[in-house]
Amino acid sequence: MTDTLLPSVTDLPQERRLVTELPGPRSRALMERRAAAVSAGVGGTMPVFAERAGGGVIVDVDGNSLIDLGSGIAVTTVGNAHPRVVERVQRQVADFTHTCFMVTPYSGYVEVCEALNRLTPGDHVKRSALFNSGAEAVENAVKIARAYTKRQAVVVFDHGYHGRTNLTMALTAKNMPYKQSFGPFAPEVYRMPMSYPFRDGPHTGAEVASWATTKMEKEIGGANIAAIVIEPIQGEGGFIVPAPGFLPALKAYAEQHGIVFVADEIQSGFCRTGQWFASEHEGVVPDLITTAKGIAGGLPLAGVTGRAEIMDAVHVGGLGGTYGGNPIACAAALGSVEAMEEEDLNTRALAIEAIMRERLEALQAAHPEVGDIRGRGAMIAIELVKPGTMDPDPELAGRVSKAAHAQGVVTLTCGTYGNVLRFLPPLTIPDHLLREGLDVVAAAFDA
C-alpha cells in the first residue's frame, strides 16, 4: 500500500520508536518538578514531556517518538511546526510582537477576518472578530447575539461543551471535571435534548428536533431566545454526529423566531471533518460560527464570524481584549489556511477517515465492546459498552487508552460517560503511522 506523504512532513523520522519505558527518566524528573510547581487542578493525559513534534509524531525529552492521534485536542490539523506556519510566525515575531489591534491595527488581523468570511458557509455579507481562546469566542458570540436580538435566553444541548469560563461552564453539560464546585453559573441558559443516534433508539433526527423545539417553545418561548448554540458534531461530549435532519430543523426554528443560530465549530471546523465546516455536511448555514483550535496551527487564536448585520449590532468598543487577534497568532492562521488550501487537507481528512473506519470496523467485528463507530473525516471515535448492552464502559476506555500510551500512541477519551475513544490525528500523519497507531489500539483490546 502506498503512503501519503505531504510536502509539509518534517525532517523528524515518521516512526514510533521507544528507547526507554514510558515515561522515561527525564519525563519522570519533569513530572516531579511539575507536581511541585504547577497547580494540581491542571489535568494531564500522559506523563510524557514533549521536545519536538511534526508530521504524525511527538518526540519526548527521552528520545521516544510517539504516534500522535490527538493533535493536542484537535489543534495541529496542519501538523506541528508546519513550514508555512513557522515561516510566517518567524517573520512576524521579528517585525513586531504586539501593538494591540484596538490601538494601532495591523493587516494580519484583517486578512484572517477576510479568510474566515470567505471560508465559512453562506454567501451573505460577513464580518469577524478575533479572540484568544475558544471559550472567549463562544462568550462573545452570545454577547453579540444578545445585543442584536435584545433578548437574553441561550439554548444549548445535552452533552455540549463550550469552555471553562463562567458563561461557557453554564453552557457546558458535563459536571465533572468542568463545573464541579465552581458555581454559581450564569443565568438564562436552557439545555435541550440532543440527537444521539446510538442512544436514541428508533427516533429520527426530525423527531428529536421536535422534542427540542417544543421544549423551547413551551419552557422559554421562541421570542425570548437570543441564540441557539450547538456543535454540529459534538467534541468533548463524545463525537456525537446528530441524525440527518436534526440540525436543519433547529435552524428552521431559529429562522422562524428570529433566533441567532450559532454553530460552535471550534473542534469540528477547519478541515477536520473533510469540509471547512461540519455544518456543510448538512447544508446548514449558521448565522454565527465560532472557530479556534485548528485555525492557527497551534497558536492561541479564536474567531466569531457571521452575518454583517448581527456582527455590527454591537456598539463600538463592545468587543475586544488586549491580545485578541495577536499578530503572531494571525500570522500562524494565515500560514495554516495556506497549507490547508495548498495541500487540499479536506481531501486528506476523507482519506484518513477511510483508513480509520476500515481498521475500526475490523476491531468492532472482533470486539462487541465497540458499540458504535462515528464521526466524520479525521474526527472519528468508538463508543465502548458492556457487550450485549448499552451500558457505558469508561473503565475499558481508560484501560485501552493507558495501554496505547504505554506503547507510544497518544490517544484521548471523551464523552459524557467517559467511554469514548477519540481519534484526531494531524492531517499530516503518514498512512503507515496512522495504521500502526490503530493497530496498537487494537492490540490493547486483544490484551
Contact between residue 235 and residue 157 where contact means Cβ atoms under 8 Å apart: no
Closest approach, Cβ 218 to ligand PLZ, in A, equals 28
Binder among 109, 148, 157, 161 for ligand PLZ (CB under 6 A): 161
**Residue 164 binds ligand PLZ, judged by CB under 6 A:** yes
Q: Candidates 58-66, 159-167, 185-193, 207-215 — which segment interacts with ligand PLZ by CB under 6 A?
A: 159-167
Closest approach, Cβ 63 to ligand PLZ, in A, equals 28
- 262 in helix, strand or coil? strand
Residue among 236 and 393 whose Cβ is closer to ligand PLZ: 236
Q: What is the DSSP letter of 392?
A: B
Q: Which amino acid is at 148?
A: Y
Closest approach, Cβ 154 to ligand PLZ, in A, equals 14
Residue among 296 and 355 whose Cβ is closer to ligand PLZ: 296
Q: What is the dihedral of CA 394, 395, 396, 402, to 10 degrees?
A: 110
Residue list 242-281, contact with ligand PLZ (CB under 6 A): 264, 266-267
Residue among 9 and 289 whose Cβ is closer to ligand PLZ: 289
Q: Candidates 6-14, 95-103, 228-236, 423-431 — which segment interacts with ligand PLZ by CB under 6 A?
A: 228-236
Binder among 88, 151, 162, 359 for ligand PLZ (CB under 6 A): 162
Q: Tell me whether residue 336 is exposed, middle or buried, using C-beta atoms within 10 angstroms of its C-beta: 0 to 12, 13 to 18, 19 or more.
A: buried
Q: What is the CA radius of gyration of the chain?
A: 21
Q: Candidates 139-147, 156-164, 181-189, 363-371 — which segment interacts with ligand PLZ by CB under 6 A?
A: 156-164
Binder among 12, 18, 30, 73 for ligand PLZ (CB under 6 A): 73
Contact between residue 303 and residue 291 where contact means Cβ atoms under 8 Å apart: yes
Lay out the sheet containing 379-384: strands in order across.
370-376, 379-384, 420-423, 412-414
- 83 in helix, strand or coil? helix
- Closest-CA residue to 238 (of 44, 432, 417, 54): 417
Q: How far apart are CA 5 and CA 81, in angstroms?
A: 16
Residue list 292-351, contact with ligand PLZ (CB under 6 A): 292
CA 370 to chain centre: 23
Binder among 231, 287, 343, 372 for ligand PLZ (CB under 6 A): 231
* Residues at the interface with ligand PLZ (CB under 6 A): 73, 133-135, 138, 161-164, 231, 235-236, 264, 266-267, 292
